[in-house]
Amino acid sequence: MGTDHLLLVVSTILLSSALCYLLFSGRSRPMGQGLPLPPGPRGWPVLGNLPQLGAKPHQTLAALSRLYGPLFRMRFGSVDVVVAASADVAAQFLKVFDANFSNRPPNSGAEHIAYNYQDLVFAPYGPRWRMFRKLCAVHIFSPKALDDLRPVRAAEVDVLARALYAHAHTGTTLDLGKALSVCGINALSKAMFGHKVFRAEEESKEAAELKELIIDIMKVAGVFNVGDFVPALSRFDVQGVVRKMKKLHCRFDSFLDRVIEEHQAMAATGGDLLSVLMRLKEDVDSTDGVKLTNTDIKALLLNLFTAGTDTSSSTVEWAMSELIRHPESLREAQTELDSTVGRARLVNEADLQNLPFLQAVVKETFRLHPSTPLSLPRMASEACEVNGYHVPRNATLLVNVWAIARDPAVWDNPLEFRPARFLSGGGYENVDVKGNHFELIPFGSGRRICPGLSLGLRMVQLVTAMLVHSFDWALPEGLSAEKLDMEEAFGLTLQRAVPLMVHPTPRLEKKAYGT
């Protein structure tokens, strides 16, 4: 279809719907209800507020909350959208009305990337979702499973330390994000498949390509696709989003097919996740009567790879960016590590409990740079009342995690990087990131909280501790810490717009790096 024809179709739809919109969009009270709808901005005919979101929706929605309050309403096409932008309002949705908001709204990403809702993240709330959640809780994220895989994580962090040590002697600049991705991908793949997914001689190149694929998936899945909200436009794919999704899905599906085929050829029967899942295909009693298929397994592996590698590596990259910009905090973290660990060995997971300032650095990074700035959308199964407003049935809920963690009504000097706020006497020492304190919910909360919270937290703390302890860090020549670009690139996950390029300098004894 030509561009002129497409524009004509869109224009006709817009014009034919404009009168209906003007007649009904200003209505403040829904038919048959005594409560008003939440306040919010007036939008365009047909498209509603979609054109107002901009390139960084989390920032746009934060600005709108300052105008309309911590609970406001928008219209994305024909869909009611409510936005929670304070801890109190988020607690209402994710605690008081958690059961009512446990489903996801229909969306293109779930259909075209996540195997048509057959994954854990987008599956409808019900038996299949509970089965997936149980599998993750028992075989991946339980305390025992995490402890059993501690040597795997330690080994890959050691590999990363040695790689950085070798790179330090080349005198060249390092893309830290790519190095972190190799570590994360290998640690996760060894836990999932019992071995690394890349050959050693091609590891860096192929891991970098997989990182780019994952980031592309996260970016396109984070786009507010017009066709999801204006059904009449869905067939035209006016943004080209669905086309991109299908291509990315095919690439990742081919990668997973290769991994599964290689695993089966090895006749693997160990305790890695894929071996467990393959055995469970024939054991419906262990999956609560739900029969697992290869598609189910690939959908779960997709979730784990995308959520388990990109989120952790990007958070560590943000942490190091902030520490480089705040050298006094970097020195304090290094002093704590030297006192606890010394300089003769690398830091390990057992040390983390004795590193309160390092833990505070990680919390402050989660606060300022949450890996998921807008919560994955939820949908109201039934109408309800929140803060004196009527929330309609089937309304989409967005929780602005980014805005809540920068709320000046809750946080002192919210835009400053101040890890000490989480230490004893800092005012926020009792706040954690595990979904219990709604002013800081980088992993979400309630039934749909990120199941990989414990693994993600361990990995971010360990890798950040190793980088801080093992190396001093310098920016490329001519770039000062004050001028380091801290712009965000929006997607399902919050990436740095510009990769962090650095020069590491070893600061431990040589034997610590295994040389």
Look up the pTM and report it.
Answer: 0.91
Which of 260-274, 431-445, 456-470, 492-506 is the least confident region? 260-274
pLDDT tops 60 at residue 171: yes
Q: Dump pLDDT digits (tens) for 331-375.
A: 999 999 999 999 999 999 999 999 999 999 999 999 999 999 999
pLDDT of residue 201: 54
pLDDT of residue 47: 97
pLDDT of residue 265: 82
- The share of the chain scoring above pLDDT 90, in percent, equals 74
Residue 204 to residue 108: CA distance in whole angstroms: 32
Residue 416 to residue 447: CA distance in whole angstroms: 32
Which tokens hold the place of 499?
């990769």
Residue 495 to residue 200: CA distance in whole angstroms: 27
Q: HSE, CB side, 13 Å, CA atoms: give it for residue 266.
A: 15
For 169-199, the three-class secondary structure string (H helix, E strand, C coil) is: CCCCCEEHHHHHHHHHHHHHHHHHHCCCCCC
Using DSSP, state whether 344 is helix, strand or coil: coil
pLDDT tops 50 at residue 24: no
H helix or E strand, kind and range, residue 385: strand 384-386
DSSP for residue 108: H
DSSP for residue 96: I
Strands 79-84 and 396-399: parallel
In which band, very low, low, confident or very high, does the pLDDT at 402 lie, cut at 50, 70 and 90?
very high
Helix axes 241-265, 203-221, angle to 10 degrees: 140
Which of 363-367, 472-476, 493-497 is the least confident region? 493-497
Helix axes 311-325, 356-368, angle to 10 degrees: 110
pLDDT top residue among 75 and 21: 75
Taking the domains of the chain in order of start, what are their residue ranges? 3-34+55-513
Cα separation values, 200 from 149, 204, 214, 282, Å: 21, 8, 21, 34
In which band, very low, low, confident or very high, does the pLDDT at 195 lie, cut at 50, 70 and 90?
confident
Q: What is the dihedral of CA 212, 214, 215, 216, to 10 degrees?
A: 80
Q: Dump pLDDT digits (tens) for 500-510.
A: 999 999 999 99
Using DSSP, state whether 336 is helix, strand or coil: helix
Q: Which residues pair with 385 in a beta bridge?
A: 390
Which tokens hold the place of 67?
């105008």
In which band, very low, low, confident or very high, does the pLDDT at 269 lie, cut at 50, 70 and 90?
low
| Cα Rg, the chain, nearest whole Å | 24
- Residue bearing tokens 């983390």: 352
Residue 444 to residue 441: CA distance in whole angstroms: 5
Q: Dump pLDDT digits (tens) for 236-246.
A: 999 999 999 99
Residue 33 to residue 47: CA distance in whole angstroms: 25
Burial of 482 from C-beta contacts in 10 A (0-12 / 13-18 / 19+): exposed
pLDDT tops 70 at residue 511: yes
Closest CA to 191 of 143, 162, 151: 151
pLDDT tops 70 at residue 434: yes
Residue 312 to residue 458: CA distance in whole angstroms: 10
Residue 411 to residue 439: CA distance in whole angstroms: 9
User: Does 3-34+55-513 carry CATH code 3.30.70.260?
Assistant: no
Closest CA to 345 of 216, 186, 511, 487: 511
DSSP states of 34-78: SSPPPP----BTTTBTGGGS-S-HHHHHHHHHHHH-SEEEEEETT
Residue 484 to residue 394: CA distance in whole angstroms: 43
Q: HSE, CB side, 13 Å, CA atoms: give it for residue 308.
A: 25
